[in-house]
């Protein structure tokens, strides 16, 4: 989990309309989660790869995760997001195979649950296909070195 997600973004989940709060600091202390924190310089290198005229909109937590994936420090790792911008960025950077839907991640963990449509495997696949088409047709997605 990225530092930004742990510190700022992930605070609760909703169940039957109720907000249920959780403490990721405790999980971190108990080694239940691993926190990643790429350097500002590494994040900037990845951010600068996108053409500013057509760059996907990314939250800092997503940018941190994508930076970590691009550095390939851990093998056999996936990034789960229901955000089209993050999925699109991964396809543009040619690491789309490291993306996974929440529905599929839960399935692989043996936690079969119904998820919101934006987290479904069907919507995820649709986003992946749309991102691949955009990559084919839009030559201004990435800054060539």
Task: Supply the mean pLDDT for the chain.
Answer: 89
Q: What is the pLDDT, as a whole number, of residue 145?
A: 56
Q: Is the pLDDT of residue 120 over 60?
A: yes
Instruction: Cite the beta strand spans of the chain per DSSP E.
Output: 12-15, 18-21, 79-80, 99-100
58: left (phi over 0), alpha (psi -120 to 50) or beta: beta
Percent of the chain at pLDDT > 70 equals 94
Q: Is the pLDDT of residue 74 over 80?
A: no
> pLDDT band for position 35 (50/70/90)?
very high
Secondary structure class of 14 (helix, strand, coil):
strand
Q: Do residues 96 and 79 touch, judged by C-beta distance below 8 A?
A: no
Question: pLDDT tens digit string along 75-91?
Answer: 788 999 889 999 999 99
Q: Residue 102 contacts by C-beta under 8 Å, 6 or more apart in sequence? A: 80, 82, 115, 119
Lookup result for tokens 């239940």? 32
Q: What is the pLDDT, as a whole number, of residue 139?
A: 59
What CA–CA distance (Å, rounded) separates 86 from 89?
5
Average pLDDT in the 24-46 region? Answer: 92
Given the DSSP bridges, would you call strands 18-21 and 12-15 parallel, antiparallel or unpaired? antiparallel
């Amino acid at each position: 989990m990225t530092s930004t997600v742990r510190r700022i973004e992930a605070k609760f989940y909703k169940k039957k309309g109720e907000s249920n709060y959780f403490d990721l600091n405790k999980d971190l202390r108990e080694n239940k989660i691993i926190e990643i924190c790429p350097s500002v310089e590494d994040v900037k290198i990845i951010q600068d790869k996108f053409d500013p005229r057509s760059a996907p909109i990314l939250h800092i937590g997503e940018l941190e995760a994508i930076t970590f994936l691009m550095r390939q420090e851990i093998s056999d790792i996936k990034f789960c997001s229901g955000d089209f911008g993050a999925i699109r960025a991964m396809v543009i950077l040619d690491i789309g195979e490291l993306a996974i839907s929440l529905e599929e991640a839960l399935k692989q963990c043996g936690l079969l649950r119904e998820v919101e449509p934006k987290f479904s495997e069907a919507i995820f696949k649709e986003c992946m296909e749309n991102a691949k088409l955009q990559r084919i047709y839009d030559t201004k997605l990435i800054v060539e070195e």
